[in-house]
Amino acid sequence: MSSTPSIPPAYLLVGPETGKKGTFIKQLQKKCSDRWGDSVEFHRFYPFETDGGQALEVLRNCSLFAEFRIVMISQAEQLNQEMVKAVTDYLASPSPDALLILASSENRVHAKIHTGVGKEHTVMFWELFENEKVQWLEDLFASRDMDISRDGIDLFLDLVENNTQEMRSAAGLFISYLESLQIPAPVRIGVAEVESFVYHSKQENVFTLFAKLVLRDFPGTLEICEAMRLAGALIPAPFFAGLLWQFRRLLSLKELMNQRWLPDEALMKTMVLGKKAPVKGKMNQRVYLTGCERFSIQEIRRCITAIQEYEAQTRDMRAELHPLLIELLLYRITCKGGQIFTPGAYSFGLAGLNLPPL
């Protein structure tokens, strides 16, 4: 028999870092392929597909075409009690020619599954620390002869999900965009380049949404919000972080304008949380100057407060209600200048929902 290390009957992979988790699964697949060659089957199931026991049937039944089978059940935290029992029964007497992978973005699943798999085959994938994310991105860009500033990294991280899978995907698109510009190496990347990429990505995002918000165009913001939702881009953490960053920069510009700085000078002096964040690019500058015209300094401050309040509320609400809460925020910004409004003044069809105070 091959000297390849033995494969345990099951692994439990938990935690939010999907990038490293995906790499671990690929390594398991390679380990199995090294031992059994091309005759390895891979099957993925989700909780709603397991009620009939299909996943366990694949694990227990030999295949005519495969010497070894890998069965992965994603979102394992959602397994019902019946499936938890079926899985633990299987783990008590597993098939010798199959590997069960139970994966979850949560930190824990049902206690019986943890016990059945065992501590030695349970792997936790924690989200990267901030310094690790910075170093990871610096190394990635450096490998393409690109130098990204810390401010550029901070903005980039605000706009993507904080796991290496999403970061790698977004960074890959960003690198392709920069290479299309044919900038002589080494390429220097700052806030302006990150913003330019977002504006030219041909997808609705928190930056194109901000351009509608400063026009106080409520129907327009709803259209962009819906496009983001359909594209899977309406993710609370980067959505609120991106809005907050832009309104803070708008506040900086408004304060400078109130201090009688000329527009061209003020646009180059804006800051966000003590860091330089100049507004570059004619289109981007028009957006911010429009925001200064349409919003008073008090309204901008109220909008910042509203964004922070609504972001906190999403943590205590079911995910399916997040788009509705975001619509309320868009209304509050565009139509009320960030002011608290009386529930019921504009319902969005939310009658009967137990929403937190606005």
181 vs 191: CA distance, rounded Å: 16
Task: Assign domain 10-124 one CATH number from 3.30.540.10, 3.20.10.10, 3.40.50.300, 3.40.50.720.
Answer: 3.40.50.300
Say if residue 347's pLDDT is above 60. no
This prediction's pTM: 0.51
AA letter at 82: E
How many Cα atoms sit within 13 Å of 91 on the Cβ side?
21
- Which tokens go with 56? 């366990």
Q: Tell me the per-residue pLDDT of 12-44, one tens digit each, with 9 for 90 and over.
A: 999 888 878 888 998 999 999 888 888 788 888
The ranges assigned to domains in the chain are 10-124, 128-202, 204-346
CA distances from 107 to 14, 110, 201, 286, 325 (A): 5, 11, 34, 45, 26
d(CA 214, CA 275): 23
Q: Which residue has the higher pLDDT, 280 or 330?
A: 330
pLDDT in tens, 91-139: 999 998 899 999 998 888 999 999 999 999 999 998 778 788 888 899 9
Q: What is the reported pLDDT for 358?
A: 41
Six-digit token string for 110:
């049902």
The class (CATH top level) of 204-346 is mainly alpha
